[in-house]
Amino acid sequence: MILELDCGNSYIKWRLVPPIAALAPIDGRAVDIGQLLDQVDTSAKCGLEKCRLVSVRSDSETDAIALRVSSELGVEVLRAMPATTLGGVTNGYLEPERLGLDRWLAMVAAFSLRRRACLVFDLGTAITVDLIAIDGRHLGGFITPGIPLMRDQLFGHTRRIRYEGPAESVLSDVSPGRSTAQAVEAGCLLMVRSYIGAQLDEASARLGNAFDVYATGGDAALVSDLPGVTCIPDLVFRGLAIACP
């Protein structure tokens, strides 16, 4: 078994990849290392071969996660590191080490699928958009708040926008809200979908007409029905396996 960890700002996504490709991985999400070890401990201890880790958390928190995994699960931890090129993709940042490693790995995995121009959306705490040309050049990207941050800003800066975790029915409904929860959720959802739509419309000017579109991250399903979008929930993990074979 290989333990894979994708440490985002809100959640540490984890999965245990069995040595036989035919078996499905076991996966989960935790808010911190303590919860992560509670979740994977019993199933993981037997037969763990190694751990692959990518993190956009601070260096100190990432070091602490890696240390606890190696000491408590007794495995070597391979960490994805910044790079200027990988898998035919060239990092487009002026300071390549500042590009979020989750973005980088998602791009490397996306380009590896068909080696064509692509547009990559990652909808998590933040929403990121990255453009890769047909020759693998990363043309740069965009960062905006994601749905959880939009919601939090309204909660944090108003007195009367207050509601408990919205009902499932509210989350995908974009009709005009007749409650606070519905008004906020529908408004944020429309913002995200319009923004992704605008990115799709504008990408052909930079990538030409033949490009692939991939969406990943916890909120990717919110845009998976937009034209041409392919949802790949494990895109970052796929890139992690390329970075840390």
Ligand X SMILES: Nc1ncnc2c1ncn2[C@@H]1O[C@H](COP(=O)(O)OP(=O)(O)O)[C@@H](O)[C@H]1O
Ligand Y SMILES: CC(C)(COP(=O)(O)O)[C@@H](O)C(=O)NCCC(=O)O
Contact call for residue 212 and ligand X (CB under 6 A): no
Alpha-carbon distance 245 to 243, whole Å? 6
Contact call for residue 92 and ligand X (CB under 6 A): no
Q: Which does 11 bind (CB under 5 to 8 A by kind): ligand X, K ion, ligand Y, none?
A: ligand X
> In the set 1, 5, 11, 130, which binds ligand X (CB under 6 A)?
11
Shortest Cβ distance from residue 103 to ligand Y (Å)?
5
Identified catalytic residue from 38, 102, 212, 225: 102
CB 100 within 8 A of CB 120: no
Q: Does the CA dihedral 195-196-197-199 come out positive or negative?
A: positive
Tell me: is residue 102 an annotated ligand-binding position.
yes
Tell me: is residue 101 an annotated ligand-binding position.
yes
Residue 228 Cα distances to 146, 174, 210, angstroms: 21, 21, 11
**Tokens representing 33?**
């290392």
Instruction: Kindly write out the interface string for residues 130-169 of this chain, putting x where it contacts K ion by CB under 5 A and - elsewhere.
Output: ----------------------------------------
Shortest Cβ distance from residue 17 to ligand X (Å)?
19
CB 105 within 8 A of CB 138: no
Contact call for residue 215 and ligand Y (CB under 6 A): no
Long-range contact pairs involving 178-183 (C-beta distance under 8 Å, separation at least 24) = none
**Tokens representing 208?**
């030409």
* Nearest residue relative to ligand Y (C-beta): 100
Instruction: Kindly write out the interface string for residues 105-134 of this chain, putting x where it contacts ligand Y by CB under 6 A and - elsewhere.
Output: -----------------x-xxx-x------
> In the set 17, 218, 223, 243, which binds ligand X (CB under 6 A)?
218
Specify whether 63 is catalytic: no
Annotated catalytic residues are 102
Contact residues toward ligand Y (CB under 6 A) are: 8-9, 56, 98-100, 102-103, 122, 124-126, 128, 143, 146
